[in-house]
Amino acid sequence: MPTTAKPEFELVFRSSEEKETFRFGNLLSRFVFPGLLILLQGELGAGKTVLVRGIAEGLSAGKVRSPSFTLVNEYSAAIPVTHADLYRRSPGGQDDLGLEEALEEGRLVLVEWAENWNHPPLEEAWICRIELPEPPDFAATRKIRISSFGEKASSALREAAVSILEKGEEKN
């Protein structure tokens, strides 16, 4: 997924367990909007699907399953959701999955293994990288780095960051 575009805003969140990643996704669901593209990157088992499930639950999408074999799942929700998994796809062959059409229809599009999509549309997008420490330790804290592209996507991510800071201050 080569891109030369510079992100407009970046949010970094650390998650030490699956429940925390899920809750973070649930919080993010309050800031997504129709036509937003969320591109998820990370190693196998990093937590991409867990984050998607948190977002989907926050939108009342019901039970979300990984589309590893079906490639694309769609859910009716507060914002209709299209969830794709490109793990089994070779780079460059996503046009036939209808992802760009889903964005044009105003769906929230979440794409796991986004590195296999050569030229995703970044007009309004979040690129979410879930990073494990080196060497990979699946029990260790993950760093979830979200970069925003587009005015509306950047504004929404900034609002999410403020919300996270306010929640953190409430705990202290």
Q: Within 13 Å and on the Cβ side, how many CA atoms surround 16?
A: 0
Residue 2 lies in a domain: no
Map residue 50 onto helix, strand or coil: helix
Alpha-carbon span 105 to 167, nearest angstrom: 33
* Structural domain total, the chain: 1
**Across residues 7-32, what is the average pLDDT?**
95
Residue-level pLDDT at 60: 94
Bridge partners of 38, per DSSP, are: 110, 126
Q: Which residues does 74 contact at the CB level (< 8 Å), separation at least 6?
A: 80, 81, 82, 83, 102, 107
By C-alpha distance, which of 142, 163, 155 is closest to 50?
Answer: 142
Report the CATH number that the domain containing residue 23 is assigned in CATH: 3.40.50.300
- 161/136 Cα distance (integer angstroms): 27
Residue 35 lies in a domain: yes
pTM above 0.95, yes or no: no
Interval 165-169 mean pLDDT: 71
Residue 168 within a domain: no
The answer as to whether 5 is a domain residue is no
Within a domain: 3: no
Is residue 158 domain-resident?
no
Q: Show the domain range for 113.
A: 15-144
Is the pLDDT reported for residue 34 higher than 80?
A: yes
Helix or strand run (H / E) with residue 15: strand 9-15
Tell me, yes or no, whether 59 lies in a domain.
yes
Question: Quick check: 8 and 148 in contact, CB under 8 A?
Answer: yes
Instruction: Tell me the sheet residues that pair with 14.
Output: 143
pLDDT at 148: 97
Cα of first residue to Cα of last residue in the chain, in angstroms, is: 40
Residue 117 has a pLDDT of: 87
Report if residue 32 sits inside a domain: yes
Distance CA 172, CA 168 (A): 7
